[in-house]
Structure 1
């Protein structure tokens, strides 16, 4: 069962916005784009605290999607998955809560550090990067690398079908055993759908996926400042060129962006005065979309007004 209730008016609005943006000089946009858009009657923040887990997930918000079930390469949006997994491992006492882990989680989310992500993936899976491995060693190493996937599969979310979160993130790309693990033609690359990312972020913001304390910590890392001076001081602020840039003055934002030569993505929860709170995940693929710094802000600008 989907975690949100499809809303016809929202779907019509989303279709109209996508068509308009494509007509403005973005050929093939409809095929290069995945969107999941949810709206809430009240703040989602820690809203799961008042109900048990089953009751919370049964409270379906209104939503709409565009290619929402289609898995795409998520770039740094996968770091949201690894953040939640790390808190889940800590909750089960599978890893130690150390200052170095907390530093890595903060740098992974706030600054989107690939180096920090590498440490987090190593701790989650008990693996390390290095030279190529013989077939038997690679098979054993690869099984450990699938631990996050197996945990997510145990949640039983239909949105996770076709998704994959087992690779580190890179600047130049994988080498050695990491390159072997990518598989022929990169068939084992990370893959996420906007629906899957939306459900994960929905659970984090509501405090319904792990303990309220763990979700509060994750919310703190995902919070973004829309202050112009702070953004100007940090060119990689994950606001400019992404959904946050299209928000009205005074809005509050929690998000994780992803950007590389073939992708520009963002996953955001937004509260803006006079508008219903919304959760918006946008995955856009291709070199043209990666270079398009106006697409995500315009989507946010159009949809925050509903």
Structure 2
């Protein structure tokens, strides 16, 4: 952050949560319908200087925010030599993050796990398949970050129902959907932005992929993930890196009606912050104003 005086992250975050609860109460948004994690960074590219979390350890179905984790896992596989970068994998990573392609995501998951989906398997084959699909979870758990305890990043992204082995796997134990907390998403995004996720070079590659031009032309591009999300309210001159997620009704109540965003921004005054907001419920999912208004309030509080 620059040399100006800021309210503490706790003061800022507490005011933000109180404002969210009051502003959207008339729409039926209760305090347990959202989670917020805010990191204030020590300047652009700097480490986290202060943090605030409200329900930040609560697991949510993360929608497409989970794609940040698959990008990290892919870069780690390159770093370890377990995968060789190809034009198709590069194209898939770009489309997974920039346009939130589920097909691109599932292509990457197949590479990371060396599995494919759909057709049912024998019991023995299914256990081998599950073990292979769990390797991305094992990687993130091996990092030893408290924010990542209990996450699940093993499932593919579907536009509607699942079938065959994917259906069996997602119902394992009753509910084996992907799950992330806002704290988990924030710690990974903040590390990418400060250059400490895997390596400085791998972090740079991921930052470039997450970057979203703060222009009208890009905002109006289909699947740009700025309009109706946090990035919509970033002021002129701000720079934006983000990955949003959304579901309406999917046919599966455990994965329906969510709207999330994980954003890092550098404001024109030099203030740098990471903001993750997860929401659930029909109105938040369908709302085109909730996340932009939360972002606008955050900017106002940070800018003073």
**TM over 0.5: same fold?**
yes
1:110 aligns with 2:64: no
Q: How many residues matched? A: 286
1:43 aligns with 2:44: yes
After TM superposition, the runs of 4+ consecutive aligned structure 1 residues lying more than 4 A away are none
Structure 1: distance between partners of 2:227 and 2:139: 34
Query: Are the counterparts in 1 of residues 41 and 49 from structure 2 also a CA contact under 8 Å?
Result: yes
1:297 aligns with 2:299: no
The within-5 A match list for 1:19-168 is 19-23=21-25, 25-44=26-45, 47=46, 60-168=48-156
1:245 aligns with 2:251: no
SS of aligned partner of 1:305:
helix
Structure 1: distance between partners of 2:275 and 2:48: 15
Task: Please list the CA deviations of residues 185-237 of structure 1 after superposition, one character each: whole Å capped at 9, or x if unmatched.
Answer: 851100000000000001111110112111111111100122112322x1321
Structure 2: distance between partners of 1:204 and 1:164: 20
Query: Are the counterparts in 2 of residues 107 and 113 from structure 1 also a CA contact under 8 Å?
Result: yes
Change in CA separation of 1:236 and 1:140 when aligned onto 2, cut-off 3 Å: same
Which residue of structure 2 aligns with residue 187 of structure 1? Answer: 175
SS of aligned partner of 2:97:
helix
Query: Are the counterparts in 2 of residues 254 and 270 from structure 1 also a CA contact under 8 Å?
Result: yes
Which residue of structure 2 aligns with residue 54 of structure 1? Answer: none
Structure 1: distance between partners of 2:267 and 2:239: 6
Structure 2: distance between partners of 1:267 and 1:219: 13
TM-score normalized by structure 2?
A: 0.90
Query: Are the counterparts in 1 of residues 29 and 284 from structure 2 also a CA contact under 8 Å?
Result: no
Structure 2: distance between partners of 1:229 and 1:60: 32
Q: Which consecutive unaligned segments of at least 5 residues does structure 1 have? A: 1-5, 48-58
The within-5 A match list for 1:151-230 is 151-183=139-171, 187-230=175-218
The CA RMSD over aligned residues, in Å, is 1.5
Q: Which consecutive unaligned segments of at least 5 residues does structure 2 have? A: 1-7, 249-256
SS of aligned partner of 2:106:
helix
1:265 aligns with 2:260: yes
Structure 2: distance between partners of 1:76 and 1:8: 28
Which residue of structure 1 aligns with residue 17 of structure 2? Answer: 15
Give 1:13 shift.
1.7
Structure 2: distance between partners of 1:131 and 1:20: 48
Task: Please list the CA deviations of residues 51-102 of structure 1 after superposition, one character each: whole Å capped at 9, or x if unmatched.
Answer: xxxxxxxx65211111100010000001000000000010000111111110
Task: Please list the CA deviations of residues 140-192 of structure 1 after superposition, one character each: whole Å capped at 9, or x if unmatched.
Answer: 10011000110111111111122100001011232111111012585110000
Structure 1: distance between partners of 2:212 and 2:48: 26
